[in-house]
Amino acid sequence: MNRFLFAAGAVSAAVALVGQDISDQPIKVDVNIVNMFCAVRDKKGALISNLSKDDFQLFEDGKQQQIKYFTRETDLPLTIGLLVDVSGSQVNLIDIERRAATAFFQQVLKKKDVAFLISFGADSELLQDITGSPKLLQEGLDRLRLNAGTSGFGGGPVPTANKPRGTVMYDAVYLAANDRLAREVGRKVIVLITDGEDQGSSYSIKQAIEQAQKADAVIYSIYYVDPYFYSRGGLSFGGGGEGYLKRMSEESGGRVFRVDRGHTLSDAFTQLQQEMRSQYAIGWTPVSDRKDGSYHTTELKLADKNLKVHARKGYYAMPPQQ
């Protein structure tokens, strides 16, 4: 599959010379370049898409760097991993999630975009591998089913043996990043629909974030809680996982979209689509040219303090994939 090679954080060089036409073949540059995608919003949450390179300051490991490549990107190919929570706490929401995700794929996927689908509950399950076919994605969504449990062995692609299982969210993120996105090129996105509760994952939240960063994937979370499930006998409990979602999303360069009475799941998908098509692409020469797997912090600052930038907090200097 011919894909435009612009991997955010892959330090071996994959930038299309900004402003030129994108060919079918990747353009490889014989210098080390780190790339990053970011979105900018104002205080009211509106996307800002008319900034220039001079509006940004970039820091790596605390040292300011020269931005060598800059462009506003709206149509670079996307690889989207949609991860849907089908644990017991989401049982009443699965049909809504299926319908909204169907509309999302129909609207967001363009000619060179691809996607895959993973459900997670007591286990994680790959319902549809990477494809550009809306029909296959729809068939995968049709297979969304409740997957609840509290104990057991075996199960999905990510093992959870010897641990109580309920919602293996971190395992699903790790699986999506490591097994599906690590070798993809272009813009890579993980979209989580969940209440943020994890129980029984083999991997920790730290490991899930690290793997997403190594795969150069941005995590967008849709915080969706069924209030009826968490309210019994007049008491409210559970459903407090928004903070974990915020941590995963912000450290990878994404953000959390909240579903509530004033904002439907379809609204969240619409906002997500707009953000993915309203990003800036920034490239620079890294502090070190060693591809030794080391982690480097990054920070983007804006000249206008009234604006907020959403960008990853760092990258791993990973060796080239064999």
Average pLDDT over residues 213-220: 96
Share of the chain above pLDDT 70, in %: 81
Average pLDDT over residues 142-171: 66
Say yes or no: 124 and 262 in one domain.
yes
pLDDT 10s digits, 67-114: 999 999 777 889 999 999 999 999 999 999 999 999 999 988 988 999
pLDDT 10s digits, 188-216: 999 999 999 999 999 999 999 999 999 99
Residue 173: the pLDDT is 98
Domains in the chain, number: 2
Beta strands in the chain (DSSP E): 34-41, 56-60, 63-65, 69-73, 78-85, 114-120, 124-131, 187-194, 217-223, 231-232, 235-236, 256-258, 279-284, 295-302, 308-310, 314-316
Say yes or no: 305 and 218 in one domain.
no
Say yes or no: 70 and 129 in one domain.
no
Q: Is 20 exposed, middle or buried (0-12, 13-18, 19+ CB in 10 A)?
A: exposed
Residue 232: the pLDDT is 54
319 alpha-carbon distance from chain centroid = 22
Residue 308: the pLDDT is 96
Q: What is the CATH number of the domain that holds 300?
A: 2.60.40
Say yes or no: 84 and 164 in one domain.
yes
The range of the structural domain enclosing residue 154 comes to 78-276
pLDDT 10s digits, 292-316: 999 999 999 999 999 999 999 999 9
Q: Tokens 């895959």 map to which residue?
A: 116
Residue 306 falls in which region: left (phi positive, over 0), alpha (psi -120 to 50) or beta: alpha
Q: What is the CATH number of the domain that holds 114?
A: 3.40.50.410
pLDDT of residue 49 exceeding 70, the answer is: yes
